[in-house]
Structure 1
Amino acid sequence: MHDRRSFMKLGAGMAAGAMMPMVASAKCGDEPTQWDSEHEVIIIGSGFAGLAAAVEAMRKGAKDVVVFEKMGVYGGNSTLNAGQACFAGTELQKKLGIKDSAELMVKDQLKSGRGIASETLLRHSAELGPYIYQMTKDCGCVYRDHIITTGGTSATRSHQVVERSGSGFIRPMLDTARKMGVKTFIRHKFEHLIRDNSGRVIGIQVRKGYHFGHEESGELINVKAQRGVIIATGGFGYNINFRMAQDPTLTAEVGCTNAKGATGDGLIEMLAAGATPVHLAHIQSGPWASPDEGGFGYGAGFSLYNFPHSIAIDRNTGQRFMNEIADRKTRADLELQRRDKDGNPNPALLIAPKHEAQKDPSMHNVLKYNVAWEFDSVEAIANHFDVPLAPLKKQIDDWNGFVENGEDTQFGKRMDAGRGIKLTAPFIVQRLWPKVHYCQGGIQINTKAEVLAAKTGKPIPGLYAAGEVTGGIHGVSRLGGCSTPECMAFGVTAARSIMEA
């Protein structure tokens, strides 16, 4: 992953702001003696949501927008995904003959959400999809001509940037924001909200010169917000204690795809300020992850590309055990059940045909870093992974029959997603084992991206949020490729709301 992120190592120094008397009260009644700087719009976090908010705020006429990032590089967790975004009704879909709509996208997401997803917020995000798609293109993001089928969808809609990484969104958006005049600072950790006597958020306390892992590093400064504050600090996947409080099974032994800065700072501070928590226990694991590498890794991209035309095999039986493009929770739960006779993890095998897998650059990386292996025959796979040969051979023959007939009678997989591709030698095989990936829970917002107070159910004045720090949108399970556009949609929405306030 180092080569993916190397170009993100951008630095910036913060000029000292004008000193102004402060007459408002801060968190817990503390009264800072001065403001160290002042900006029209303050954005905390430089991922999808934060940068979308920055660009949109400038588009809406803002003159002074600042983005604070706590880590030493920009982009946060957003740089580490597969560079995919689900949009419905784009020109590229029409060009490829794909029929889709925001209505169908919402329907798919509600099904995945198991009855507790927010239809209102999902619809708001989906309907903004075409705007977000064009906005990212305006920023210089370049999409592939191929659209990917992700799990749980009724139509092929996951558009992917050519870098096949979230950095393909972050770098162009960051460059665009800066060209528009947005000020950006790394190593500035958000500590507290500052509110006046009426409860309105009027600024933040931030730790300037912060170095991750050294919590007392840097100096505390107070930054005033003329219009308001947008929190876009992401999820809490790497905060082991906090995530275990929500789901005790997610111990330190469970891997995580997130950047190490995903510790929930913004969420925890908004909860302290009285924001409404929602769905915190719904923490999603990625079913495309590999146990043979750390973090998000290269295996995720490989499996995401190959799931539609490949099969996942239980090593004990040599047979499939799931629909390889079902929603994430369905697949992750089934993968976790693959165990040996002693109850220890026995990761499933994703078997892909090399003739198709090689069309995606991820194949080169998984082979290079021993995340996947090439085999010339079914016998070689069975021997290497100790899989019963006869059932495995029959399973592959059965699968190829499904491809011919256009119907998966085993698990009901959408066969149009596989585009008639048969499973033939040579094979590329990767192990599968889920990792903590996304926090469906967070603080509650409305369709204006306003943060809602637990005590009153009304917006906390001057406070907005977008992205994974929010909760209740996706319900129990989020569909793949849907966080990127949702983060950007509510970043855009927060910027519009703050400029209209």
Structure 2
Amino acid sequence: MKKIVSICCALLMTISLAACSKPQNETPKTDDNQPVVSADVEKSADVIIIGAGGAGLSAAIQAVESGAKSVIIVEKTNNTGGSLNYTSGSMSGAETIIQELDGIEDTKESFVQDILKNGAHKGNEELIRKFVDEDVDMIQWLWDHGLSDNQFSTDKEGHRSVFAPEHALYSVPRTYKASPDNKEKYKSAAHEILDTVVAGLENVTIDFMTEAKTLMPNDKGQILSVLAVNNETSQTIKYTAEKGIIVATGGYSGNAKLMGEFAENGASYLAGGSFAADGYGIRMMQEVGAKVDEETMTYIPTFPMGLEVAPGIGSIAPTYTWKAGGICVNKNGERFVDETLAEVEEREVALEEQPEAIQYDIFTDKIIEDLKAAGADMMWTYLYEPENGKGHSKVVTADSIEELAGKLNMPAEQLAKTVEEYNAAVEAGGTDSFGRSYDGTVTAYNVAVNKIEGDKYYAVPLKALVVMTLGGVTVNDKMQVLAEDGTVIPGLYAAGEVTGGIWGRFVSGGTGVMGPIVFGRLAARELMSGELAEGYTAKPASNLLDEKLFVRDEAVKTDRFDMSKALTDGEYEASVDGQEGKMNVKTTIADGKISKVEIVEQHETEAVAKPALESLPTAIAEQNSVNVDTIAGATLTSNRILDAVTDCLNQAAK
């Protein structure tokens, strides 16, 4: 109860300040009857950083390098990295040491123009130029701190500077795909390097499992305090900074409600990262007046290739069968795009506009044969064909188009018509109404021409997948958060996905990793050198996001298994789909009870999954039940373990 009262008091204080109509240069004061904000614990430091992702880690390092004697990072999950735990960590930069070693000529100006073009010319050119300038030094810093020793993906000539086909291509190769040394703990080299450096800084403290709730102005109108809740102890903690607060809480790709507020089918998008990316940091800053341009909130780039691996969660998993003659249809059985377009943004937008943002890749055994013959079958062979492949269970097989339509719950007449029209276009050659060519010219996106016909028909459902969002609060070139009237909110800085309007409508390759790292560094440097203004009046923004958008719908709670059932002693094994492959779990029943749970095989991301992998099997055995709570911060892994053990119990109960 104390936690709830404390947070409510903080919110009331913000509302009270908003109600005080005072001149801009008059210090805001709290009403005498205003409840005093209390906390279980109070902590202070030169710099308070909210979020331990790429922006937060780089900000902490720079703050120390700029003279900070103490830095506290407040992190809501149980690990560092944020979205870096869900990406391979491709980086980009122009005029870098890597290009120099590869003998590749590039210019910063070319990089700027490519980003502007890729973002549909809706980006902030001033901040893009700032990024491109700072990016060179940041890559050099990473290089000097270990990146030079990492293994890189290379092109045919052995260059570490490559093109990234998952995004719109740059005009020159300037993307760098470096692998971490410790692949079990990290997914990106950048995360590994930043994490290692931060771990060696004695004056940087990270408070994990602690969620920031409310920013608080002082009597000078400076935003230097934040009220947070530790989700393990339920304690309220008031953090106060001497010099400033940097909000680096990430975007809202994990919040389907919020995406649905700004995109027609956004609520159906799959999250390619953590549910912790809920966008609450944006609202938290709006509560003290931060400006949010609502148009930028609609900038939610997607990948038209999301495989749903758990409810609402997906991973990039294209079949690429359309390269050899397959087609994509919506849930009504209709084609909606030239599947072979090299411009990925057009395919992204086309899928976003379909009902529930879902497509079905339709293909045949002949198409698979030609895909393999052309050497374009890597994703199919790795993800879908093997029984232990991540997407194998999602492949729908039939002996006819009509049967396939029935299994997909799709109008059979419409799907048959779509296939008939497509086959006729293939036979006629030339170009169809969507612009797809059937003249046989081989390209990277069109390796064979085939009709939809064969002995076996297949379908794979894929959805629009989101790994980052581009909307958020407005900042200036010093990463200071701006109020709706354009004035600086004293003491408040932001970096990373929580900021909006920088990149434009679409993201450019590598900026999702390097953007937060660069701007986090810049924010800390400016904070340490800047002077705190006074006299700001904190009041909620006029377009404050509805708090209901951040309340997660509680799933209907039912017991997984009736533990009163008689269980036969023995060892039982079960397999479920995991993060990057199958998870196999062995459950031992002795004297009719669960005596041991052992995870035989797993391919989870250690940084996220470790707490569940280490503690949940023991908890299940100790409580002799699968009706236990999931581990906070590792919900997906927890549910996989519980699902597998439940399967074992069902075997033992037969």
Per the normalisation by structure 2, the TM-score is 0.58
Aligned partner of 1:254 among 250, 269, 276: 269
Structure 2 counterpart of 1:442: 472
Higher Cα radius of gyration: 2
Structure 1 counterpart of 2:280: 265
Aligned partner of 1:52 among 51, 55, 58: 58
Aligned partner of 1:132 among 138, 141, 150: 138
Aligned partner of 2:245 among 218, 222, 229: 229
Secondary structure of the corresponding residue to residue 293 of structure 1: strand
Deviations 1:190-235 (A, max 9, x none): 1111222221122211112x15xxxxx7111111101111000011
What letter corresponds to residue 44 of structure 1 in structure 2? Answer: I
The reply to whether residue 462 of structure 1 matches residue 462 of structure 2 is: no
- Decide which moves more: 119-128 or 288-297: 288-297
Structure 2 counterpart of 1:22: none
The reply to whether residue 371 of structure 1 matches residue 391 of structure 2 is: yes
C-alpha spacing 1:336/1:440, structure 2 compared with 1 (3 Å): closer
- Decide which moves more: 317-326 or 124-133: 317-326
Any gaps of 5 or more consecutive residues in structure 1?
Answer: 1-24, 212-216, 400-408
How far off is 1:167 after superposition? Answer: 4.1
Aligned partner of 1:277 among 292, 299, 304: 292
Distance in 2 between residues matched to 1:145 and 1:344, nearest whole Å: 32
Structure 2 counterpart of 1:20: none
Alignment of 1:99-498 (within 5 A): 99-141=105-147, 142-146=150-154, 147=162, 148-153=164-169, 154-163=171-180, 166-181=187-202, 182-208=204-230, 210=231, 218-251=234-267, 253-278=268-293, 279-294=295-310, 297-300=314-317, 313-314=327-328, 321-322=338-339, 324-328=341-345, 330-336=346-352, 345-348=358-361, 364=382, 368-371=388-391, 418=444, 432-455=462-485, 457-498=486-527
Per the normalisation by structure 1, the TM-score is 0.74
Distance in 2 between residues matched to 1:47 and 1:83, nearest whole Å: 12
How far off is 1:423 after superposition? Answer: 6.2
Distance in 2 between residues matched to 1:106 and 1:93, nearest whole Å: 17
What letter corresponds to residue 174 of structure 2 in structure 1? Answer: R
Secondary structure of the corresponding residue to residue 491 of structure 2: strand
Distance in 2 between residues matched to 1:90 and 1:380, nearest whole Å: 54
Structure 2 counterpart of 1:16: none
How far off is 1:458 after superposition? Answer: 1.8
Deviations 1:77-125 (A, max 9, x none): 3311232122223343345454433222221222233332111111111
Distance in 2 between residues matched to 1:54 and 1:32, nearest whole Å: 28
Deviations 1:366-387 (A, max 9, x none): 65434269x9xxx999x99999
C-alpha spacing 1:118/1:366, structure 2 compared with 1 (3 Å): farther
Distance in 2 between residues matched to 1:224 and 1:236, nearest whole Å: 26
C-alpha spacing 1:461/1:145, structure 2 compared with 1 (3 Å): same
How far off is 1:317 after superposition? Answer: 9.1
Distance in 2 between residues matched to 1:59 and 1:157, nearest whole Å: 28
What letter corresponds to residue 283 of structure 2 in structure 1? Answer: I
Structure 2 counterpart of 1:403: none
Deviations 1:31-68 (A, max 9, x none): 44687121111111011111111122222232211211
Deviations 1:247-304 (A, max 9, x none): 35322x432223011112211110010011023432424224323434665535x68x
C-alpha spacing 1:75/1:195, structure 2 compared with 1 (3 Å): same
Question: What RMSD over aligned residues (CA atoms) do the two structures have, in Å?
Answer: 4.3
Distance in 2 between residues matched to 1:188 and 1:466, nearest whole Å: 19
Deviations 1:442-486 (A, max 9, x none): 00011111111113x121111110000000112222224322111
Distance in 1 between residues matched to 2:384 and 2:196, nearest whole Å: 30
What letter corresponds to residue 241 of structure 1 in structure 2? Answer: K
Contact 1:88 1:157 in 2 (8 A): yes
Aligned residues: 443
Distance in 2 between residues matched to 1:483 and 1:235, nearest whole Å: 11
Distance in 2 between residues matched to 1:416 and 1:26, nearest whole Å: 65
Contact 1:43 1:229 in 2 (8 A): yes
Distance in 2 between residues matched to 1:227 and 1:236, nearest whole Å: 28
- Decide which moves more: 271-280 or 138-147: 138-147
- RCO higher in 1 or 2 (8 Å CA, sep ≥ 6)? 1
Distance in 1 between residues matched to 2:62 and 2:442, nearest whole Å: 37
C-alpha spacing 1:431/1:262, structure 2 compared with 1 (3 Å): same
The reply to whether residue 69 of structure 1 matches residue 82 of structure 2 is: no
Distance in 2 between residues matched to 1:469 and 1:98, nearest whole Å: 33
- Decide which moves more: 62-71 or 239-248: 239-248
Contact 1:274 1:454 in 2 (8 A): yes
C-alpha spacing 1:39/1:312, structure 2 compared with 1 (3 Å): farther
What letter corresponds to residue 463 of structure 2 in structure 1? Answer: W
What letter corresponds to residue 175 of structure 1 in structure 2? Answer: T
Deviations 1:327-346 (A, max 9, x none): 53x2212235678xxx9944
C-alpha spacing 1:312/1:42, structure 2 compared with 1 (3 Å): farther
The reply to whether residue 499 of structure 1 matches residue 519 of structure 2 is: no
Contact 1:80 1:296 in 2 (8 A): no
C-alpha spacing 1:56/1:393, structure 2 compared with 1 (3 Å): farther
How far off is 1:493 after superposition? Answer: 0.5
What letter corresponds to residue 470 of structure 2 in structure 1? Answer: Q
Deviations 1:124-174 (A, max 9, x none): 112222222222334434351422344323233221121597543223311
What letter corresponds to residue 484 of structure 1 in structure 2? Answer: V
Structure 1 counterpart of 2:572: none
